[in-house]
Structure 1
Amino acid sequence: MMKPVIAIVGCGRMGLVRAQALKCVSHRVRYVFDVDSSRASQVADVHNSRAVASLAEMNWSELDAVFVCTPPSDRAAMEIATRLDKHVFVEKPIHLSARHSLSLLGMTLPRDRIFAVGYMNRYRSPIEEVRKRIEDIPILGFQAHWICKPYMVPWWADPAQSGGPLNEQATHIVDLIRYLLGEVDQVTAIQGVSDSSTVSVMLRMQSGCIGTFVYSCSATEKDIGLRLFTQDTPIVLSGWDFYLSDAPWQTSTIQRQSSEDAFLSETKSFLDAVESGDAQAVRSPFTDAFKTQVVVDCIRNSLRLGTRVTVEAYREELDAL
């Protein structure tokens, strides 16, 4: 098929990242929209695209696919595109909660359109290597952490717009745990006594594997990592790019991998899937990202209720809605 006709909705940092990735693969954007016209113009300039003042100004019949890079509370473009049977790429998380996205789940299930969600860590080569290797390695448990400073954009700290830091940012580590270790059975979360933005979560996986992760946005520096315990050497993934610094299959010291652009790989995979019609290129489809959203919701429920929450019980509540 001809190259799909693309629009970008939302021109903050991630809108610019997607525009630059599309430029790298020589893919032009037809329309750009943001509530801030100056930001829309900045992204439009990358592609010599048309910056529009509203979603209604876009000729939707021309479009094949839409990149939705808006805050979690603003998913209007995602809903319009899905209703009009367009291919969709939406930045994580899918919404403020699983309840907010139930109608979208119902619309995506019966369709053959590509619907990808931006969990870029699934496209990192160390993550893929570990995922393949641990198929034959018993995992005894895991420890993860995502420590950082606040994301300095106005909507991020407002739960009504972002769903809160756990929803908007800690979702990365929840998704990565699911991607590597399978589905979560139960969660128990506690907050720091003097710092409510620091949270510790214990998870029991359906496989029986157990582990913890600590999230905080109260730091001044970034510290991210995931350690999987085995009967031998642990598997250690470190830093923003999750480079593989230790593993039982290594016979010598692991050299740090060269940097890679996970956002570029993710964007290209979405375009490849749209052009070929083969959804296998997408590692985080909407239906799978919905499961990550459910776990994040359960963590927030555990904090609110002060008790352990079973994921299946919460999912049954959603199915009853």
Structure 2
Amino acid sequence: MAMASMLNVLVIGAGEINFGSVEGPWNHTLRLERILGPRLRVVGLIDVDEARATAALAPKLEAESQATRAAWSACRLFAAVADAALALSPEQIPQIAVVGAPPFARGSDVPGRDLELQLVSAFPGCALFVEKPVSSGPEDACWRVAKVLEGSRAIVGVGYMLRYLKAVQMMKKIITENSLVVMGTNARYVMAYEYARKPAWWDKTRSGGPIVEQATHFCDLSRYFGGDVVLPSVVAHVVQHSESPGQLSAKRFDEDAIPEENRLPRLTSATWKYTGGAVGSLTHVIALHGTTYDTEFEVYADGYHFKLVDPYSTPKLYIRRPGTAGLETHIFTDDDPFHTELATFIDVVDGRRPSGDILSSYVDAIRTYELTWAIRRAGERSAVGYT
């Protein structure tokens, strides 16, 4: 593909991950506009909710930027992939599909929950950028999807954007240059819950729960540095919603409407063994008020301690090296990992970079998904043992 050629993009999902919200930095369509500029041609927006899709498209067609209006001028709304396949002309066949629909609609071979399979069947050769987690369904179904994707030879990337942080890549570089062997990882994710008001998020049968749905990024970072996990080694304990430490005073919705067995644990503490011998740990807590989260990720190796603080906002990396008592500090004030991951993905599609530059493959993302479920299940087993 010539570098200056138009790139046809099909957007799946008219929600926050693709179009942004006041609650977070995600907004894939904005990054696509910035990266591709006049090359971008959005050929379709697929969402079962026509009103939501119409509302998402309207600001694009009315944007101040002429390039944005041009990019979206030919966009058509569809309720399903099959509708798009029937309606799009040969000149409109997408080279990239951005799959930002909820996880219950993907990662499976069950009809209606098989977006990836629908896309590679309808548009052979189309590259897929898939959101995380890869699914909310059974892990074995994800592996069947992976086999089909491998056979299709489609370029596939999964949106674990924290791997692309400059701080994370600095850590990786130091570990590689010094031939370090990771001894352990420690992830800590403390959520500010006051403005989490969607009842579906608090229902683990709908959201997957705080580990599968939210802590998935830190589980993925853990695997990125520690390697594959011995899943039977995972041990976890939880603070249940019904226990005294689990009572929350700043909820802004009615949790009583959710069946008790479906409510979220307030704290999950997990440990596991990596296949290479290292040990990993994760603490996820629903505790803080307001909007500011408290997140840290640590890596230990002989002579070295890395601490990544606030990776979602202004990442700070603290490093202790051999022969020093103090910490060197690196602050990254202008780093957009969403932009970097999408720009990298597009470069691979264009043939300017090798496929290995996509830092999160579909298979790798399934292994992270498996870890999150292993933690959730271990926590649920321990809770039963203490009731």
Q: What TM bracket, shorter-length normalisation?
A: 0.7 to 0.9
Counterpart AA for 1:149: A
Residue 45 (structure 2) aligns with: 32
> Partner of 1:306: helix, strand, or coil?
helix
Indicate conservation of the 8 Å contact 2:78/2:84, yes or no: no
Partner of 2:191: 148
Change over 3 Å in CA distance of 1:262–1:87 after alignment to 2: same
CA separation in 1, counterparts of 2:183 and 2:361? 28
Is 1:301 paired with 2:377?
yes
Amino acid at match of 1:114: I
TM alignment of 1:125-204, pairs within 5 A: 125-135=166-176, 136-150=179-193, 151-153=196-198, 155-185=200-230, 186-193=233-240, 194=243, 195=246, 196-204=265-273
CA RMSD of superposed structures (Å): 2.4
Indicate conservation of the 8 Å contact 1:72/1:161, yes or no. Answer: no
State whether structure 2 residue 321 is matched by structure 1 residue 248: yes
> 1:69-91: per-residue Cα shift (whole Å, max 9, x none)?
11111224323113333211111
Deviation at 1:227, TM superposition (A): 1.6
Contact 1:187 1:204 in 2 (8 A): yes
Q: Give, as a single letter, the amino acid of the residue that structure 1 aligns with 2:84.
A: M
What SS is found at the alignment partner of 1:283? coil
CA distance in 2, matches of 1:257, 1:104: 37
Q: Which has the higher contact order (CA 8 A, sep 6+)?
A: 1
Q: What does residue 14 of structure 1 align with? A: 17
Q: Specify whether residues 205 and 260 from structure 1 end up closer, same or farther in structure 2 by C-alpha distance, changes over 3 A only.
A: same
Which of 238, 241, 249 in structure 1 is aligned with 2:309? Answer: 238
The percent identity for this pair of structures is: 23
Residue identity matched to 2:212: N
1:152 Cα shift? 4.4
Amino acid at match of 1:190: H
1:99 Cα offset (Å): 3.0
- Aligned-pair distance for 1:42? 4.4
2:79 matched to 1:54? Answer: yes
Residue segments in structure 1 that go unaligned for 5+ positions in a row: 308-321
Structure 1 position 256, deviation (Å): 1.3
One-letter code aligned to 1:21: R
Aligned with 1:217 (options 286, 299, 304): 286
Relative to structure 1, the CA distance from residue 43 to residue 272 in structure 2 (aligned partners, 3 Å threshold; closer, same or farther) is farther
TM-score normalised per structure 1: 0.86
In structure 2, C-alpha distance between the alignment counterparts of 1:247 and 1:305, rounded to whole Å: 38
Contact 2:316/2:329, CA 8 A, preserved across alignment? no
The equivalent of 1:87 in structure 2 is 127
Q: 2:228 and 2:95 mapped to 1: Cα distance?
A: 33
Amino acid of the structure 2 residue aligned with 1:22: L
1:193-218 deviations in Å (ceiling 9; x for gaps)? 53323100101111111132101233
Bigger shift: residues 11-20 or 46-55:
46-55
- The alignment partner of 1:177 has SS state of helix
Pick from 352, 356, 363 the counterpart of residue 287 of structure 1.
Answer: 363
Q: Is the CA contact 1:182–1:205 (under 8 Å) kept in the aligned structure 2? A: yes
Distance 2:274 2:101 in 1: 32
Q: 1:57 and 1:147, CA in 2 relative to 1: closer, same or farther beyond 3 A?
A: same
Distance change >3 Å, CA 156–CA 83, structure 1 → 2: farther
Matched length: 307
Comparing 162-171 with 224-233, which one deviates more in the overlay?
Answer: 224-233
- Aligned residue type for 2:293: K
Partner residue, 1:65: 96
How many angstroms apart in 1 are the aligned matches of 2:185 and 2:143? 31
Contact 2:159 2:341 in 1 (8 A): yes
Task: Give the Cα–Cα distance (whole angstroms) in 2 for the partners of residues 255 and 235 of structure 1.
Answer: 11
Tell me how far apart the structure 2 counterparts of residues 247 and 270 of structure 1 sit (CA, whole Å).
Answer: 33
Whether contact under 8 Å (2:319, 2:327) holds in the other structure is no
Aligned residue type for 1:191: V
- Please name the residue that 1:312 is paired with: none
Between the aligned partners of 1:22 and 1:78, the Cα distance in structure 2 is: 20
Q: Which runs of 5+ in 2 are unaligned?
A: 20-26, 61-67, 107-113, 247-264
| Structure 1 match to 2:256 | none
Q: Is the 8 A contact 2:187 2:297 kept in 1?
A: yes
Deviates more, 1:246-255 or 1:170-179: 246-255
> For residues 283 and 41 of structure 1, do their structure 2 counterparts lie closer, same or farther at Cα, with a shift above 3 Å needed?
same
SS at match of 1:28: strand
SS in 2 for 1:268: helix
SS at match of 1:7: strand
| Pairing 1:237-276 to 2, within 5 Å after superposition | 237-241=308-312, 242-248=315-321, 253-276=328-351
Moved more, 30-39 or 109-118: 30-39
Closer/same/farther in 2, CA of residues 90 and 161 from structure 1, 3 Å limit: farther
Distance in 2 between residues matched to 1:240 and 1:218, nearest whole Å: 19
Is the contact between residue 297 and residue 307 of structure 2 (CA under 8 Å) also seen in structure 1?
yes
